[in-house]
Amino acid sequence: MKRVSKLLLSLTFVSSLFSVTSCGHYTKTGPLVIWHDKEDSVIEILENALHEKLPNQEFEFIRKENLTDNLKLVGQDARSAPDMYIFAHDKIGLFDTIGILEPIENIIDTSLLDKYIDLTISSLSYNGRLLGVPLYYETLLFLYNKDQMKEAPTTTEELYTYMQDVTETSQSRRYGFVEQHSTAYYSAGWINGYGGEILHSDGTPGLNDEKTIEALKYHKKFIEYMPHGTMDYPTVNTMFTEKLADSIFAGPWLVTSADNINLGFAQMPTLPNGNKISPYCGVQGIQVLKVAVESEERKEEIKN
């Protein structure tokens, strides 16, 4: 519910953005085209709220697989690119570098965003410019199958003991916990919890830092009780949804795929140093394409 509330709160400001940019698409009669890669439930909330706030504006939400690659191909083509897209903040730098994003301050009064959490604004900013309007933010949770794991572990040592017990009793046909341990996005939670960093704020690597090394050494013992080989995204998620693993680190995007599981949610377990595993936060925002605001028709309509 918090995620939905944050999304609805953002719509007040996003509708202001839409009402300005909607008048500049290269064809006056076409709908405002918005690409996304989100769950149907999220888009349904967004679409219904926008139609209520802007009843005279037509919208076309298009789900795009490989959205990043598609934008790199057509982001500078007014007839192929969308007016806007909804995506995580981690591609802001890429898209700004290739020159396809319009700074938000060129479109709306950014004082409208003063009440936003600083994290969401900084995440959607690059080189001192705000390049997207935050919609909601998300992070990883400890998800578990309540039919197998009766109570979520509160510490990593409790989790480790549980993993050992499951492996011994199931003879490795079932696993107590799995994760994408070789992916930086997932291992970062362990590193951050130990006070280490993958990258420092100035862009220099932090992999040789003492705290980072300490975290990875500790993390390694958990991997011994996971399946050997590559633990990629589809493999890990399938193991959980097919009930071959009792618990997982995952975000809200996995919930709809786990509807066959008696699903439990818990905070991240606490590390031996007293800190919780601290994963990255992802900020989902809406970004505007430059080609959507550069046509003479748009300039005239905005001027009028």
The DSSP line for the chain is -HHHHHHHHHHHHHHHHHHHHGGGSSSTTSPEEEEE---HHHHHHHHHHHHHH-TT--EEEEE-TTHHHHHHHHTT-TTTS-SEEEEEGGGHHHHHHTT-BPPGGGTS-GGGGTTS-HHHHHHTEETTEE--EEEEEEE-EEEEETTT-SS--SBHHHHHHHHHHHHHHHTTSSBS-B--TTSHHHHHHHHHHTT--SB-TTS-B-TTSHHHHHHHHHHHHHHTTS-SS---HHHHHHHHHTTSBSEEEE-GGGGGGGTTS-EEEEPPPBPTTSPBP---EEEEEEEEBGGGS-SHHHHHHHH-
Averaged pLDDT score across all residues of the chain: 87
pLDDT at 1 over 90: no
- pLDDT at position 26: 47
pTM of the full structure: 0.79
pLDDT at 19 over 70: no
- pLDDT at position 6: 53
As a whole number, mean pLDDT of residues 77-85 equals: 90
The residue among 182 and 64 whose pLDDT is bigger is 64
Q: Which of 60-69, 105-114, 240-249 has the lowest mean pLDDT?
A: 105-114
Confidence of residue 7 (pLDDT cuts 50, 70, 90): low
pLDDT at 209 over 60: yes
Confidence of residue 30 (pLDDT cuts 50, 70, 90): confident
pLDDT at 84 over 50: yes
As a whole number, mean pLDDT of residues 111-115 equals: 90
Q: Where in the chain is the domain with CATH 3.40.190.10?
A: 2-138+283-303, 141-279
pLDDT at 195 over 90: yes
pLDDT at 22 over 70: no
pLDDT at 12 over 70: no
pLDDT at 302 over 70: no
pLDDT at 133 over 50: yes
Confidence of residue 110 (pLDDT cuts 50, 70, 90): confident
As a whole number, mean pLDDT of residues 101-126 equals: 92
- pLDDT at position 24: 46
The residue among 51 and 125 whose pLDDT is bigger is 125
As a whole number, mean pLDDT of residues 19-26 equals: 49
CATH of domain 2-138+283-303: 3.40.190.10
CATH label, 141-279, candidates 3.40.50.720, 3.40.190.10, 3.30.565.10, 1.25.10.10: 3.40.190.10
Confidence of residue 280 (pLDDT cuts 50, 70, 90): very high
Confidence of residue 201 (pLDDT cuts 50, 70, 90): confident
pLDDT at 25 over 80: no
